[in-house]
Structure 1
Amino acid sequence: MDPNVDEYLENAVQWQKEMKQLRQILLDCGLEETIKWSKPCYAYNNKNVAVIQGFKDYCALLFFDGYLLSDTEGILVKTGEHTRVGRQARFTDVKEIKKVAHALKAYVFEAIELETSGIKADIAKPKENLVITDELKTRFKENPLLESAFLSLSPGKQKAYILHFKQPKQVATKYARIDKWTSHILNGKGMHDDYLARKKK
């Protein structure tokens, strides 16, 4: 038991009993505790497994690689809309924690196994939906090769073109920009490829 965690819990003005209960469960599983990111953090062989968090509306036990856990009890939730790996178990009362204490211990042991096995969550970053402008769609219809060449570009190059094409307020200017860069696109080039090539010389 880390005295720094003792101090943290004694000074907690909210969820003190709940966090102490979570702490006991984690220690019973043989995890090492310390203070990281100003929160009680629990690790196995120096690999982070979970952290106790206190919020206004609830306290939580966050599993760093919670995405990989089985969650047989269905108590883990994403911490935010764009969260990909971490998962929280949220509580507002000691009774809630005691009710799922056995399951939490099972989750901890599963998390330890994942850490020791070296398995990590392999979640690709969600692709950003690129909105093709109406003017560019029109040019695609007129020149199918342009559409094929554009869609063959990397997402980053496509995004740069789209941002550039939709910037002007005047429709005529938008078409002019597309026409100016058509040859580059047909040649499989991004907007900045020529500049980067010159810079490398």
Structure 2
Amino acid sequence: MDKINHWEAELEILKSIIAKTVLVETTKWGGCVYVLDNKNVIGVGGFKNFFTLWFFNGVFLKDEKKHLVNANEGVTKSLQQWRFTSKEEINETEILAYIQEAIKNEKQVKIIKPEKTKEAVSIPAIFQKELNADPNLEEAFQRFSPYKQKEFLEYIETAKREETKLSRIEKIKPMILDNIGLNDKYR
């Protein structure tokens, strides 16, 4: 079944309602998305069993009428959908109220920022001795991002023999002191 054309008339009704707002229509990810100052506010789409109006930051909407559902429970944090199964369910006044609230929230920059996971970097004992012996090396190493630190540490740890690990440490010490990442020459 053609999911999009299956709901073509219903999606056109939703689009005509959205056209009454300040939102600008654009295409993202192959779908119709409406933006305010290039920020995603809402989208429309058709699925097998329903068509939907989704709010990118719908978690901040009051939803007093209980129309919204989480788009993908446990995965999405802020995306909320208003699902319809027939055009008779479309209530222009209610939809416009939800959209206006979403626009107001966007203007107030109400968003959920993705959580940054700071992974602790485990420094092998053989390299930690070198860092303890040279405060300049320690300071230079700490200036690198966790990602680049991890590159150095993996380079050391992937060696099987102790002698190879030591020679690798000797090779990277000048790079660290000169603030050159292990793989910078490839970037």
| Shorter-chain TM-score tier | 0.5 to 0.7
SS in 1 for 2:42: strand
Where do 5+ consecutive residues of structure 2 fail to align?
none
Equivalent residue in structure 2 for 1:12, among 5, 24, 29: 5
Which amino acid counterpart does residue 81 of structure 2 have in structure 1?
Answer: A
Q: 2 CA distance for matches of 1:24 and 1:194?
A: 51
Deviations 1:62-99 (A, max 9, x none): 334x17x6233383646698878x7231536349x669
- Residue of structure 1 in register with 2:167 after alignment: 176
Number of residue-to-residue matches in the alignment: 175
Deviations 1:76-130 (A, max 9, x none): 646698878x7231536349x669x83x544311232345x47475836725636
- Residue of structure 2 in register with 1:126 after alignment: 116
1:88 aligned onto 2:76: no
Q: 2 CA distance for matches of 1:195 and 1:78?
A: 43
- Residue of structure 1 in register with 2:142 after alignment: 151
Q: What's the % identity of the aligned pairs? A: 25
Q: 1 CA distance for matches of 2:54 and 2:125?
A: 45
Q: 2 CA distance for matches of 1:162 and 1:71?
A: 46
Query: Which one has a larger percent helix, Structure 1 or Structure 2?
Result: 1
CA RMSD of the aligned region, Å?
4.9
Give the TM-score of the pair, scaled to structure 1: 0.53
Deviations 1:119-173 (A, max 9, x none): 475836725636536xx244325643455542332334324323433444x1433
Which amino acid counterpart does residue 70 of structure 1 have in structure 2?
Answer: F
